[in-house]
């Protein structure tokens, strides 16, 4: 998506070899007009797939998921990062390793909101090693629901997550795919 790539070129900041900071329009301050264009694009891609729910992960996927959901006219569920253990039984759970902090944490979704008949579109801001997306996929599979596919804003295609998830037969559509990046050269797209 040209608009998103141009914005990354202009305002994205590469940190080290593998972290892209997009705090000025996506992860901290949020450009909702840009989000709307992204939501329209996800609707163009997945509009014919019978999506009944959008599922994302706390916190940075929520904004994009909400704006996207307006175009699908379906509810958004966000998987919560959980500390409490006493809710087992009422929730689906899985484990996610944080890309930015390296810690493993549990994510949960109430069984009330994810039903066997649901057709779920997963939305997230970044795809790196694929742990966040794999965690979301497990929640949907545990519910007996269907993963329609994933809509990702920025895929770092030089990291293994995209291949990992596509090799499981799951459709992954990313609006910007980064081939390589460095602090000196900036970002190169696929
Ligand atoms: P994964 O689970 O695929 O390894 O990483 C995806 C998650 O890590 C995303 O939800 C996102 O919050 C975070 N993430 C991964 N790479 C980056 C990055 O380069 N920049 C930012 N801002 N977040 C990232």
Preceding amide of 59 cis, omega within 30 = yes
With a 6 Å cutoff on the Cβ, whether 161 touches ligand 1 is yes
Atom of ligand 1 nearest to the CA of 19: 19
CA of 40: how far to CAs of 43, 63, 74, in Å? 5, 14, 14
**Ligand 1 centre from 127 Cα, in Å?**
6
* pLDDT given at position 86: 56
In a structure prediction context, what are the per-residue pLDDT tens digits for the chain, which is 190 residues long?
999 999 999 999 999 989 999 999 999 999 999 999 999 999 999 999 999 999 999 999 999 999 999 999 999 999 999 866 656 679 999 999 998 888 999 999 999 999 999 999 999 999 999 999 999 999 999 999 999 999 999 999 999 999 999 999 999 999 999 999 999 999 999 9
The residue written with tokens 């019978």 in the block is: 50
pTM: 0.96
All residues at 6 or more sequence positions from 62 whose CB lies less than 8 Å from its CB, including other chains: 56, 76, 78
Distance, CA of 131 to CA of 126 (rounded, Å): 11
Distance, CA of 131 to CA of 96 (rounded, Å): 5
* pLDDT given at position 102: 84
Residue to mutate, 17, 126, 168, ligand 1, most ligand atoms under 8 Å from C-beta? 126
Where does 18-159 show beta strands of DSSP type E? 19-21, 53-57, 76-82, 91-97, 104-110, 119-127, 146-156
CA of 64: how far to CAs of 25, 71, 180, in Å? 11, 11, 24
* pLDDT given at position 88: 61
* pLDDT given at position 101: 83
Atom of ligand 1 nearest to the CA of 26: 22
Distance, CA of 17 to CA of 22 (rounded, Å): 15
Distance, CA of 55 to CA of 75 (rounded, Å): 9
72, 93 in Cβ contact below 8 A? no
């Amino acid at each position: 998506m040209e608009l998103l790539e141009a914005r990354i070129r202009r305002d994205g900041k590469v940190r080290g070899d593998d972290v892209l900071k997009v705090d000025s329009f996506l992860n901290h301050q949020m450009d909702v007009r840009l989000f709307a264009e992204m939501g329209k694009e996800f609707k163009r891609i997945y509009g014919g797939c019978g999506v009944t729910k959008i599922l994302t992960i706390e916190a940075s996927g929520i904004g994009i998921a909400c704006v996207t959901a307006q175009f699908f006219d379906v509810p958004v569920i966000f998987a919560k990062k959980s500390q409490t253990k006493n809710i087992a039984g009422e929730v689906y759970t899985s484990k996610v390793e944080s890309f930015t902090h390296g810690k493993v944490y549990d994510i949960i979704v109430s069984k009330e909101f994810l039903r066997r008949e649901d057709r779920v579109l997963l939305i997230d801001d970044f795809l790196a090693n694929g742990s966040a997306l794999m965690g979301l996929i497990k929640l949907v599979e545990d519910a007996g629901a269907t993963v329609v596919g994933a809509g990702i804003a920025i895929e770092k295609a030089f990291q293994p997550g995209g291949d990992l998830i596509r090799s499981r037969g799951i459709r992954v559509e990313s609006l910007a795919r980064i081939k390589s990046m460095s602090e000196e050269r900036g970002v190169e797209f696929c």
